[in-house]
Structure 1
């Protein structure tokens, strides 16, 4: 799970922040085909990551996910097809999927090539529904400082 920044005692991390980190980690562990998951703020900063990711990899992936959603939003501004739901990049050995969780936050998921994209997309939508209820601008700010 995501740990507080060095020098930040665990007691100072709110229960909501701990719960959100647990949800991201649980998503990666319990979703068939998922390799890792991260949550990203609207400004591209990592706010949560699954426990099996290195921090440097998670930070880089957060920037990539933010850029992907920005490009997808650019398409929706140029063409009247609506807002992006999910962005998917197919790689030789897997996928990167990104979706908006709420205003100010998105979810990035690395998945294996054998993963069912329909299942991953469904689980991402379910995660977004659960997370939207707890994510507030204050919680996002706290998560930025405790990841």
Structure 2
């Protein structure tokens, strides 16, 4: 095992035992794309990417990790319910789910390999524009989601 201070799992002296984790260029690019999507799309308040097993892979905000994990569970659950309903009524596969919540919308779409993009949008958001930008994000970022990148993103999601 590499004992250099920058090896994954090692800690930096004086850092209160915060592990140092190297992040690949692909993971950095994926996180940048998500952040760019969230900040540049009018009405988007928060965005997360969830793996096919319901775990948080990436988040756009500095929101507490526990809040993002709860949102990941909701996104995963909504997608599962939508897929079940689509199968039951022979409606095809999941394209997009929109839930009208008190102060905005929860929009969920699949992006690649079973991964999901979940977005919290304000009531003033143009949902057509949000959906279009979500599709663009899925096209750009989804193509890069290899099993290795998915595993890395789940392990290094920003705390």
- By the TM > 0.5 criterion, same fold? yes
Query: Which residue of structure 1 lines up, in the alignment, with residue 50 of structure 2?
Result: 40
Are 2:122 and 1:122 aligned? Answer: no
3-state SS, counterpart of residue 73 of structure 1: helix
Query: Which residue of structure 2 lines up, in the alignment, with residue 73 of structure 1?
Result: 83
Structure with larger Rg: 2
Q: 1:26-56, CA deviations, whole angstroms, 9 ceiling, x for partnerless residues?
A: 1111100000100000111000001332211
- For structure 1, the residue ranges without an aligned partner over 5 or more in a row are none
Measured in 2, the distance between the counterparts of 1:129 and 1:53 equals 26
- For structure 2, the residue ranges without an aligned partner over 5 or more in a row are 1-7, 10-17
Equivalenced residues, count: 142
Measured in 2, the distance between the counterparts of 1:99 and 1:52 equals 22
- State whether residues 36 and 52 of structure 1, in contact with CA within 8 Å, keep that contact through their aligned partners in structure 2: no
Q: Runs of 4 or more off by more than 4 Å in structure 1? A: none
Q: Over aligned residues, Cα RMSD in angstroms?
A: 1.5
Q: 1:96-129, CA deviations, whole angstroms, 9 ceiling, x for partnerless residues?
A: 0000011131100000000001000000001001
Q: Report the TM-score, using the length of structure 1 for normalisation.
A: 0.92
